[in-house]
Amino acid sequence: MRITVKHQILLAPATVLLLLTLLLGFMQYTYWDLSVKRHKAKTIGVAFIALAEADLAVRRLAVLMQRFQQNGYAKRSEMELLATLHDQLSAAVDRVESVGDPDSLTRIERLQQLAIEMNPTRGIEPERILAVVERFRSQLSSLSSTTQLQRQQLREVHNQDIDQLVDRTARVSLVVLGLAIVSGIVLSLFFARRILSRIQLLSDSARRIASGTLEPPPQPDQIRDELDALTLSINKMTKRLIQVVGSEKLLEGAEEERRRIAMDLHDQSLSDLSAILRKLQQLPDETANELERDLNAAIVNLRDIMNNLHPQTLDILGLGAALEAHLERHCEKEGQPDYHLYLDPRIDSLALGRVVKLALYRIGLEAINNVHKHAHASRFEVGLELRDQNLILSVEDNGSGFRQRRESDSNGRGLNNIRERARAVGAEVCWTASRFSTGTRFELRLPVLSEAVEGTEKELTHD
């Protein structure tokens, strides 16, 4: 299973982020454990202070009870002091919290019970209260010793934990950061090398195709990522380009054969007929005149055939002039529909290839021929112009419309010829309704380079 290019690019930073997240989790856990120990130390400290306050309060209470025992009575102020000391004692005992030792919890409960027994509201009996005080101080001393010991141990453990925490955190951080950096670099280099090597193969294939070596890249067996899809697209584009180039070469070969036949007719057949004509012109009788007329007509027809095979006007004067010459020669006869020709002056400045010009010329003639044969139109317009970096060839009539004449077999072959010639040169054709009240508009759209269009505009501006 191949990982997509997007995931390959994201894998290295994702791995680094994952390792850093684990490092942060480890540090958070470590500091949380330290926080727990700090809270425990704080609890022990509060308990130790509360025990000290309770010890101080019970000592003063014992002194006051001894005074009561000696005097045999108690003053009002001393009674108030006794109640205050007992309240302080009870509050101090209530602030003592267990630190997790079951014995300490039992001792705290005993202290709370003994504090209740020393409550002066139960009666002031010095002997009884002094006995309770002795037991209270015994429990208090034992609990204080335990608390002091735990406090000292926690202080030592806390200092050790701080040192261990700093040392362990530093070592783990260095290891994880080093691992994250190394992993990121290794994964980045690994996937970058794979991606770049595949991109380099595609680039080499594209360079070969651009240089004229139409060798498609190997087609992937299965589309696993974006580069496989790109490889498949380049493969299909190359195969289609091979077909287009093959069609273009076939078309160029056909035009070259037409040119050769036209030259042969000119050099041989036409010269032979011209020689015969010159001899006939020397004969005086009427039969010779009739043969001369027939021979002139044959020469004219032969010149038309030669021009149709390979128009010399196209090579000498360009596409616009060739179309104009054809219209003047064939469409200005009596009974033919009126026409109007618009030629963009920028057309002849375009660097169109010979095959492209021939294809456009043949397509234009076929569209004009369709108007004469099938449209039954009284007027048509021919346009050749540049528009939005496109060469537009249009033929528009006011005839019967496209749908009424689409079932003609000959017309169907003509339309197919137009489509094939347009496809061979990379043009698009369409038939739509005419802007006249009736009729059809044929339009061919051939993209041309923007630099060529700008160059022709600059030339016209300069002129």
Give the pLDDT band of residue 304 (cuts 50, 70, 90): low
Which of 391, 333, 387, 389 is closest to 363 using CA atoms? 391
pLDDT grade for 432, boundaries at 50, 70 and 90? very high
The architecture of the domain spanning 5-190 is: Up-down Bundle (1.20)
**Residue 145 banded pLDDT, cuts 50, 70, 90:** confident
Least confident of 182-191, 247-256, 292-301, 330-339: 247-256
Which of 38, 41, 47 lies closest to 144 in space, CA to CA? 47
For strands 390-397 and 440-447, give the pairing: antiparallel
Q: Could you tell me if residue 293 is left (phi over 0), alpha (psi between -120 and 50 degrees) or otherwise beta? A: alpha
Average pLDDT score, the chain: 77
Mean pLDDT, rounded, for 188-200 = 79
| Higher-scoring residue by pLDDT: 75, 259 | 75
Closest CA to 140 of 81, 57, 65, 43: 57
Strand pairing category for 338-343 and 379-387:
parallel
Of 201 and 224, the one with more pLDDT: 201
| pLDDT for position 460 | 43
Residue 379: pLDDT band (50, 70, 90) is very high
Residue 40's alpha-carbon distances to 44, 147, 148, 215, in angstroms, are 6, 12, 13, 77
> What SS3 class is residue 125?
coil
Looking up tokens 């020469």, which residue turns up?
A: 299
Asked if residues 265 and 302 have their Cβ atoms less than 8 Å apart, the reply is yes
Per-residue confidence at 239, pLDDT binned at 50, 70, 90? confident
| pLDDT for res 409 | 46
Predicted pLDDT of residue 277: 67
As a whole number, mean pLDDT of residues 94-120 equals 75
Which CATH number is associated with domain 311-462? Answer: 3.30.565.10
Contact assessment for residue 19 and residue 179, using Cβ atoms and an 8 Å cutoff = yes
3-state secondary structure of 337: coil
Instruction: Give the C-alpha separation, 6 to 61, whole Å.
Output: 80
Q: Is residue 451 over pLDDT 60?
A: no
Name the percent of the chain lying above pLDDT 90.
11
Q: What is the mean pLDDT of the segment spanning 124-144?
A: 81
Query: What pLDDT shows up at residue 51?
Result: 80
Query: What local confidence, expressed as pLDDT, does residue 430 receive?
Result: 93
Residue 140, Cβ density class (10 Å: 0-12 exposed, 13-18 middle, ≥19 buried): buried
- Residue 336 region by backbone torsions, left for phi larger than 0, else alpha for psi between -120 and 50, else beta: beta
Q: With 90 as the cut, is the pLDDT of residue 339 above it?
A: yes
Provide the pLDDT for residue 415. Answer: 84
Grade residue 382 by pLDDT with cuts at 50, 70 and 90.
Answer: very high
Alpha carbon 433 to its chain's center: 41
Q: What is the tens place of the pLDDT at every residue in 9-59?
A: 777 788 888 888 887 777 777 777 667 777 777 777 777 788 888 888 888
Q: How confident is the model at residue 108 (pLDDT cuts 50, 70, 90)?
A: confident
Q: Residue 96 pLDDT more than 60?
A: yes
Domain residue extents for the chain: 5-190, 221-308, 311-462
Q: What phi and psi values does residue 397 have, to the nearest 5 degrees?
A: -130, 170
Give the SS3 label for residue 96. Answer: coil
| Range 117-128 average pLDDT | 80
